[in-house]
Amino acid sequence: MLAILAKSNAYLGIPEPDMETLYILAGVIGIAAIFVIVFRMLGKWSESRKVKAASWRIYTNLAKVKGLTNLERKTLDVIVRKANPKRPSQVLASITLFDRCVDNAIDKEIISDVEQSLMESAREKLLRTKVTWDGHTERRQFERALMAFDVEASMVPKNDIDEELKTSYEETDAKFLEAMAGLSTQTPSVGARVLDLGAGGLALLTQDKTKISTGDYVKLAPGADQVPFQIDGMIGRVISSEKMQGQGQLTRHLTFLPIEQEQRRLIIQAVYATTGGGKKGDSNEKTAEAPKGEAPASNEAAPPKEN
């Protein structure tokens, strides 16, 4: 094209261009275009790595919540990485997908007989049904205890979840958990303090300037204090807030999203260890008293009468 323009200059009365300058300019534009393309590709690759890392973190947390042992998790990690599903957490959520991945691993001789037995044990744990607590089963499961410890909290507005998914969802869906993981990593965590704890939720003291309201989500992580149960990755939904007068702080009441029965049991155990519940000597059983004038009944059998 440049050569044709150069030949036509004699007829058009246009001075001949400096071809060297044109070639340099074209080269600069080409190099700039290459840099833009490479930069965009690197950005997409980095974003893809973050999403994948978040998916594996969700998978690891779910495996712990499901009660899988270290050996079971390590064996399943090998199987899942070989299968390379788009969402690793789906292997734990779908028993059909779990069986398919394990069967493929057996066919390809990826796992040994011992590891197969570990996967059978893991399968039984995955088949455990989640219990939905209706508030009428056992009163003590909703006992609350004043327990103060520091945590790290990542605030994720519900609007951000809706915009990320753009479809209807349940709080137990894998896509919801992945969106929560991705958005929480993009949001700087803030220090907060737990004021009281129950099997269904907790009260969290935060700064008033924290931008979050009722219906939004909070992802929790351990802080400086030791926590008597597995809190890393737990998610709560804000159901109400109370402003602390003159302190610039808010008490936010969270309800836990569905968790495994075993994890709930550990929370109940921590609550009752704090409140002093379940101590020996609190039994409701009463010792039967013998009527006045009669000896108390003996557990020993009476000797037979002599004839």
Count of beta carbons in the 10 Å neighbourhood of residue 215? 11
Whether the CB-CB separation of 192 and 204 falls below 8 Å is answered with yes
Please give the Cα distance from 175 to 173 (Å, whole number): 5
Write down the pLDDT at residue 8.
Answer: 56
CATH of 139-275, one of 1.10.3720.10, 2.40.10.220, 3.40.50.720, 1.10.10.60: 2.40.10.220
Query: Quick one: CA torsion of 249, 255, 260, 263, rounded to 10 degrees?
Result: 40
Domain ranges of the chain: 2-50, 60-126, 139-275
Whether the CB-CB separation of 50 and 182 falls below 8 Å is answered with yes
Q: What is the mean pLDDT of each run of 10 residues along the chain (307 residues)?
A: 56 63 84 87 78 79 80 91 84 85 89 88 72 42 71 90 89 87 87 86 82 88 83 89 74 86 79 61 38 41 42
